[in-house]
Amino acid sequence: MANPIATTPAKLQFPVEVIGADHYGQQFFERTRTLTIHRNGVSIPLANTVAPDSEVILRNPENNEEAIAFIVGQTRDDTGHVYWLAFLDPSAAPWHVQFPAVVAARMVELECSGCHSMCAHSLSDIELEILGATRELTRPCKNCDMSRIWRETSREAMEKKPGNSSGQDPSPGLNASPIEERRENRRMAMKTVACVRFSGVEVVVACEDISKGGFRFTSRKEYPAGTRVEAAVPYTKSSNNIFCLAGILYCHKMPDGQFRHGVTYIKTRGSIGWDP
């Protein structure tokens, strides 16, 4: 059978097998279907709940071809959770869907929900679909020095903003896509010890994985999303550990009473260690 030819994105339903870990760190295998297929990613419904930025394996059961993908967006519909995933390798094509020549990314004006700075961003087709379905995107904010929720605004609002205190040029720029940043900062599974410092109190925690841009850990202490902390990864007791400024991206309570946290490093002038 000839490979299907699609526009970008394509509403095509193909069987897919998903292998990954849920919010609680439990491994799962789930059979589902694609909702849309993009040049470098897919959207799928899942009965399992998966943490933002998690990696999963997608397998086409018809040819057993696999691709590693990571969560770039999610929402809920009448049937449950819908996730958007981008392939770690942009050339991956388990379903061999043929797309036309690359189309230039579309510029969209977005406003940060934290500092309310405004900036024009270049979005890929999968990011445009996420924005259309959820009306928001998670991406880094230079003004906040951490990842924030961004929502669409208008050119008129950008021009009327007094002083545009963000320090960002409202004209279209070459802002790096969060998808490209994620590919460059791939997480590595690593069972090690980290130390989180908040309000002068240090707590030793179990670190699950790390990347250049952050890490994931579990703890009996809860740190709400948006909390700023200092972190040392890896951590050795009675040693000269290097602490870096970081922010909690998300916090999920697990069945055993512990909390799983996603952490992103906050870039500061003269920063060292794991801080990118």
The domain segmentation of the chain, as residue ranges, is 15-87, 106-184, 188-265
Examine residue 255 and say whether the peptide bond preceding it is cis (omega within 30 degrees of 0): no
Give the model's pLDDT for residue 59. Answer: 94
15-87 and 188-265 agree in CATH topology: yes
Cα–Cα distance for residue pair 82/77, rounded to 1 Å: 7
Report the chain (276 residues): mean pLDDT per 10 consecutive residues: 56 91 83 91 92 86 91 81 89 86 75 88 84 85 78 71 46 50 59 89 88 84 91 88 89 86 74 38
Alpha-carbon gap, residue 159 to 153, rounded angstroms: 11
Smallest Cα–Cα separation from 83: which of 55, 63, 108, 102? 55
Q: Is the peptide bond before 9 cis (omega within 30 degrees of 0)?
A: yes
Nearest alpha carbon to residue 241 among 194, 188, 190: 194
The pLDDT of residue 173: 39
Looking at residue 252, its amino acid is H
Does domain 15-87 correspond to CATH entry 2.40.10?
A: yes
Please return the burial class of 207, using the count of CB atoms within 10 Å of its CB with bins 0-12, 13-18 and 19+: buried
pTM score, two decimals?
0.62
How far from chain centre, in Å, is Cα 17?
Answer: 21
pLDDT of 257: 87
Determine the residue type at 243. F
Its CATH architecture, for the domain 188-265, is Beta Barrel (2.40)
